Structure 1
Amino acid sequence: MRTEDLIKALDADASSKAMPLGLAWWVAFGVAVTIAAVVFFMTIGPRPDIMPAMHTMRFMSKFVFTLTLAASAFALIRALSTPGAATKRAMAWMVAAPLLVAVAVILELFVVPEADWGRRLVGSNMMICMSFIPLIGIGPLAIFLGMLRYGAPTQPVLAGAVAGLLAGGLAATFYAAHCFDDSPLFVATWYTIAVAILTALGALGGRLFVRW
């Protein structure tokens, strides 16, 4: 069978599902958000001073980063789960979150004395960050990997990795409400490592469970 015929067959199979794939992704995302919220509020919950913190730029900027990552990953994974769908534009949007973080880090280096760079990078919660972002994100990752099986991705490892990025962006959004370290230096380092853990798990899950 030619590659084009195989893609058409996979697309037809994905289109014949009981629930349209596009709608199924939104349902799955809602379930994933619910799971992440339950884990978050049953474990660490929001920081006590969250209301005053919401008036600071550094605190709110964390959500700009994490939500941008989640939104761009969601758009890409939906495209990757549909055979023959165009992915170039969605792939290009994946640079948005890293670019925003990079700009924030550069600004931080300009406004913060050099003597404080190390303290802001290390922060006070790096181990909690690297533990709880994967913990909050593992349930959503399982949901997203299940959705990839519901679809028909032609690049399962890549799709699994993007599922990890999506789960990481979602989990990091919840964790940001708890985290007392608001410096972009901390976010760029430890949030990235924590999300990378979920990305690696997603790629492995794509290889093991999403192959066709």
Structure 2
Amino acid sequence: MQTNDLINALRADAAKQAMPLGYSWWIAIVAATIIAAGAFFILIGPRPDFTVAAHTPRFLFKFIVTLALVVVAFALLRVLSRPGSDVRHVAYWLVLMPILLGTAVAAELFAVPSDQLVTVWWGSNVYVCLTFIPLIGLGALAVFLAALRHGAPTRPRLAGAVAGLLAGGIAATFYAAHCTDDSPLFVATWYSIAIAGLVALGAICGRRVARW
């Protein structure tokens, strides 16, 4: 390659603008949601009485919690993808989910007879929940880990964990449409454990994939 050709090539590379990081995250969340939706409808689909259940507060509450988790985790992950960013002002919002669940669980303890608490806590779909939330969220997690490579996270393990949290929130939102166990006790326990599996996987993969 001649000198002039090299100069022209370098100039062309410099003229190329990388996709803005904020824009790439919006593409990632849309892609992850589509992938999770595809997995949900292929694997299990909504519960048969979805339209009836959609008019009950306990069923709708599941979506309030999971969607709140998605919003906060998405904001936190975007901050973590930028080096030197202060995450505290976003991370504080993570306490919203325990507050919501804790309030609902307290109400449930008063509303449900004591001899039925174990039944509603265990529910009828524990193993389905623990299996399909991670399965639905795996593709979304892969998308978010790939998006992290477009950024420059200084704490890749933490960023990977939050990517798993976000993927888990999306997966839990879809799974909630299938789940017939609407008790906050069930949601607080088993949804949390299922999402934690994706958080752990994200932390492990983030350490390898997202470092730079």
* Aligned ranges 1:70-81 → 2 under 5 Å: 70-81=70-81
1:156 matches 2:130: no
Greater shift, 97-106 or 21-30, is seen at 97-106
Partner in structure 2 of residue 8 of structure 1? none
Q: Give, in angstroms, the shift of residue 83 of structure 1.
A: 1.2
The residue identity in structure 2 corresponding to 1:97 is M
The residue identity in structure 1 corresponding to 2:141 is L
Q: Give, in angstroms, the shift of residue 86 of structure 1.
A: 2.4
Partner in structure 2 of residue 13 of structure 1? none
Question: Which of structure 1's runs of 4+ aligned residues deviate more than 2 A?
Answer: none
Q: Give, in angstroms, the shift of residue 17 of structure 1.
A: 6.0
* Aligned ranges 1:165-180 → 2 under 5 Å: 165-180=165-180
Partner in structure 1 of residue 8 of structure 2? none
Q: Give, in angstroms, the shift of residue 89 of structure 1.
A: 1.1
Partner in structure 2 of residue 131 of structure 1? 131
The residue identity in structure 1 corresponding to 2:126 is M
Per-residue deviation, residues 104-163 of structure 1 (Å, max 9, x unmatched): 101100111111110000000000000000000000000001111110000001000000
Counterpart-to-counterpart distance in 2, 1:25 and 1:60: 27
Q: Which has the larger radius of gyration?
A: 2
Partner in structure 2 of residue 52 of structure 1? 52
1:190 matches 2:176: no
Counterpart-to-counterpart distance in 2, 1:78 and 1:98: 22
Counterpart-to-counterpart distance in 2, 1:58 and 1:73: 23
The residue identity in structure 1 corresponding to 2:38 is V
Partner in structure 1 of residue 181 of structure 2? 181
* Aligned ranges 1:1-16 → 2 under 5 Å: none
Counterpart-to-counterpart distance in 2, 1:95 and 1:32: 24
Counterpart-to-counterpart distance in 2, 1:38 and 1:67: 18
Task: Give unmatched runs, 5+ long, in structure 2.
Answer: 1-15
Partner in structure 2 of residue 7 of structure 1? none
The residue identity in structure 1 corresponding to 2:203 is A
Counterpart-to-counterpart distance in 2, 1:158 and 1:50: 36
Greater shift, 175-184 or 81-90, is seen at 81-90
Q: Give, in angstroms, the shift of residue 42 of structure 1.
A: 0.7
Counterpart-to-counterpart distance in 1, 2:67 and 2:166: 10
Q: TM-score, normalised by structure 2?
A: 0.91
Task: Give unmatched runs, 5+ long, in structure 1.
Answer: 1-15
The residue identity in structure 1 corresponding to 2:91 is M
Partner in structure 2 of residue 144 of structure 1? 144
Q: Give, in angstroms, the shift of residue 88 of structure 1.
A: 1.0
Counterpart-to-counterpart distance in 1, 2:155 and 2:139: 22
The residue identity in structure 1 corresponding to 2:26 is W
